[in-house]
Amino acid sequence: MELKQEVLKAFEEAGSAVRPGEIVEKTGADKKEVDKAIKQLKDEGKIYSPKRCFYEIVK
């Protein structure tokens, strides 16, 4: 599975706004790679930031 899909799945499973560090823990991936995936997902409109340093899936 592509990392971006894993990150998106982790956001879906979280069910609420989470910090990137929690996604790193869930996926076991490198923080820099997760940060890159989060940025791509945000640019695609699949996740958003409801408050500083937290991200949540767009429902």
Judge if pTM exceeds 0.85: yes
Model confidence pLDDT, tens digit, residues 10-58:
999 999 999 999 999 999 999 999 999 999 999 999 999 999 999 999 9
Segments making up each domain of the chain, as ranges? 3-57
Report which DSSP code applies to 57.
Answer: E
Nearest to 26 by CA among 41, 7, 40: 7
CATH architecture of 3-57: Orthogonal Bundle (1.10)
Residue recorded with tokens 């599975």: 1
CA 34 to chain centre: 7
